[in-house]
Amino acid sequence: MLSTQQIELIQTSFAQVKPVADVAATLFYDRLFTLDPALRPMFRGDMAEQGRKLMTMLAVVVNGLPRLEMLVPAVEDLGRRHGRYGVQDSHYDTVGAALLWTLEQGLGAGFTPDVREAWTAAYTVLASVMKRASAAQSAAA
Protein backbone atom coordinates (compact mmCIF):
# COMPACT_ATOMS: atom_id res chain seq x y z
CA MET A 1 0.00 0.00 0.00
CA LEU A 2 1.01 3.58 -0.49
CA SER A 3 1.72 5.85 2.44
CA THR A 4 0.03 9.23 2.82
CA GLN A 5 3.42 10.86 2.16
CA GLN A 6 3.88 8.89 -1.07
CA ILE A 7 0.42 9.89 -2.28
CA GLU A 8 1.19 13.52 -1.52
CA LEU A 9 4.51 13.31 -3.40
CA ILE A 10 2.77 11.80 -6.43
CA GLN A 11 -0.01 14.36 -6.42
CA THR A 12 2.36 17.31 -5.96
CA SER A 13 4.74 16.13 -8.67
CA PHE A 14 1.92 15.37 -11.09
CA ALA A 15 0.54 18.89 -10.55
CA GLN A 16 3.89 20.16 -11.84
CA VAL A 17 3.62 18.00 -14.96
CA LYS A 18 -0.02 18.84 -15.79
CA PRO A 19 0.73 22.27 -17.31
CA VAL A 20 3.00 20.57 -19.87
CA ALA A 21 0.83 17.46 -20.31
CA ASP A 22 1.06 17.42 -24.12
CA VAL A 23 4.85 17.64 -24.04
CA ALA A 24 5.01 15.00 -21.31
CA ALA A 25 2.82 12.63 -23.33
CA THR A 26 4.99 13.11 -26.42
CA LEU A 27 8.14 12.46 -24.37
CA PHE A 28 6.53 9.36 -22.87
CA TYR A 29 5.58 7.78 -26.19
CA ASP A 30 8.89 8.71 -27.82
CA ARG A 31 10.71 7.04 -24.95
CA LEU A 32 8.39 4.02 -24.98
CA PHE A 33 9.00 3.41 -28.68
CA THR A 34 12.75 3.95 -28.23
CA LEU A 35 12.82 1.34 -25.47
CA ASP A 36 10.71 -1.14 -27.47
CA PRO A 37 10.02 -0.27 -31.11
CA ALA A 38 7.85 -3.39 -31.40
CA LEU A 39 5.20 -1.59 -29.32
CA ARG A 40 4.65 1.12 -31.96
CA PRO A 41 2.19 -0.94 -34.10
CA MET A 42 -0.11 -1.33 -31.06
CA PHE A 43 -0.91 2.38 -31.37
CA ARG A 44 -2.87 2.92 -34.57
CA GLY A 45 -4.69 6.15 -33.87
CA ASP A 46 -3.84 9.80 -33.49
CA MET A 47 -0.93 9.95 -31.05
CA ALA A 48 -1.91 13.42 -29.80
CA GLU A 49 -5.30 11.99 -28.85
CA GLN A 50 -3.60 8.94 -27.31
CA GLY A 51 -1.43 11.30 -25.28
CA ARG A 52 -4.46 13.19 -24.02
CA LYS A 53 -6.07 9.88 -22.98
CA LEU A 54 -2.88 8.90 -21.17
CA MET A 55 -2.71 12.16 -19.26
CA THR A 56 -6.42 12.04 -18.42
CA MET A 57 -6.07 8.49 -17.13
CA LEU A 58 -3.03 9.47 -15.07
CA ALA A 59 -4.95 12.42 -13.59
CA VAL A 60 -7.84 10.13 -12.58
CA VAL A 61 -5.45 7.65 -10.98
CA VAL A 62 -3.37 10.31 -9.21
CA ASN A 63 -6.50 12.00 -7.84
CA GLY A 64 -7.93 8.63 -6.80
CA LEU A 65 -4.89 7.33 -4.95
CA PRO A 66 -6.23 8.26 -1.51
CA ARG A 67 -9.17 5.91 -2.25
CA LEU A 68 -7.24 3.22 -4.10
CA GLU A 69 -9.89 0.58 -3.40
CA MET A 70 -12.39 2.65 -5.41
CA LEU A 71 -9.97 2.82 -8.34
CA VAL A 72 -9.45 -0.94 -8.56
CA PRO A 73 -12.52 -1.79 -10.73
CA ALA A 74 -11.57 0.85 -13.32
CA VAL A 75 -7.93 -0.28 -13.29
CA GLU A 76 -9.04 -3.89 -13.71
CA ASP A 77 -11.15 -2.87 -16.70
CA LEU A 78 -8.15 -1.06 -18.15
CA GLY A 79 -6.07 -4.20 -17.69
CA ARG A 80 -8.66 -6.34 -19.48
CA ARG A 81 -8.77 -3.87 -22.38
CA HIS A 82 -4.99 -3.79 -22.62
CA GLY A 83 -4.97 -7.59 -22.65
CA ARG A 84 -7.32 -7.53 -25.65
CA TYR A 85 -4.90 -5.13 -27.37
CA GLY A 86 -2.13 -7.70 -27.01
CA VAL A 87 -0.28 -6.13 -24.09
CA GLN A 88 2.02 -8.67 -22.43
CA ASP A 89 3.25 -8.61 -18.83
CA SER A 90 6.74 -7.62 -19.96
CA HIS A 91 5.32 -4.50 -21.61
CA TYR A 92 4.37 -3.14 -18.20
CA ASP A 93 8.06 -2.95 -17.24
CA THR A 94 8.80 -0.95 -20.39
CA VAL A 95 5.87 1.39 -19.76
CA GLY A 96 7.02 1.87 -16.15
CA ALA A 97 10.54 2.72 -17.30
CA ALA A 98 9.19 5.20 -19.87
CA LEU A 99 6.91 6.79 -17.27
CA LEU A 100 9.70 7.25 -14.72
CA TRP A 101 12.04 8.65 -17.39
CA THR A 102 9.34 11.11 -18.53
CA LEU A 103 8.73 12.27 -14.97
CA GLU A 104 12.46 12.72 -14.46
CA GLN A 105 12.67 14.85 -17.62
CA GLY A 106 9.68 16.94 -16.64
CA LEU A 107 10.51 17.42 -12.96
CA GLY A 108 14.29 17.76 -13.19
CA ALA A 109 15.72 18.26 -9.70
CA GLY A 110 12.19 17.82 -8.32
CA PHE A 111 12.39 14.14 -9.24
CA THR A 112 13.97 13.22 -5.93
CA PRO A 113 14.64 9.66 -4.79
CA ASP A 114 11.50 9.85 -2.63
CA VAL A 115 9.38 10.99 -5.60
CA ARG A 116 10.84 8.19 -7.75
CA GLU A 117 10.10 5.64 -5.02
CA ALA A 118 6.52 6.89 -4.62
CA TRP A 119 5.80 6.74 -8.35
CA THR A 120 7.45 3.31 -8.60
CA ALA A 121 5.32 1.99 -5.74
CA ALA A 122 2.10 3.36 -7.23
CA TYR A 123 2.90 2.07 -10.71
CA THR A 124 3.80 -1.36 -9.32
CA VAL A 125 0.48 -1.64 -7.49
CA LEU A 126 -1.58 -0.49 -10.47
CA ALA A 127 0.33 -2.58 -13.03
CA SER A 128 -0.14 -5.65 -10.82
CA VAL A 129 -3.90 -5.08 -10.74
CA MET A 130 -3.97 -4.66 -14.53
CA LYS A 131 -1.88 -7.80 -15.15
CA ARG A 132 -4.07 -9.91 -12.85
CA ALA A 133 -7.23 -8.72 -14.59
CA SER A 134 -5.75 -9.41 -18.01
CA ALA A 135 -4.60 -12.89 -16.96
CA ALA A 136 -8.01 -13.71 -15.47
CA GLN A 137 -9.70 -12.65 -18.70
CA SER A 138 -7.31 -14.80 -20.75
CA ALA A 139 -7.88 -17.80 -18.50
CA ALA A 140 -11.65 -17.41 -18.80
CA ALA A 141 -11.55 -17.17 -22.60
CA distance 50 to 32: 13
Within 10 Å of residue 30's Cβ, how many Cβ atoms? 14
CA distance 25 to 21: 6
With cut-offs at 50, 70 and 90, classify the pLDDT of residue 8: very high
More confident site: 22 or 140: 22
Q: Give 35-67 pLDDT, tens digit per residue.
A: 999 999 999 889 999 999 999 999 999 999 999
With cut-offs at 50, 70 and 90, classify the pLDDT of residue 140: confident
Q: Percentage of the chain surpassing pLDDT 70?
A: 99
> What is the fold, at CATH topology level, of the domain defined by 4-140?
Globin-like (1.10.490)
Q: Is it the case that residue 122 has pLDDT exceeding 90?
A: yes
CA distance 91 to 88: 5
CA distance 86 to 82: 7
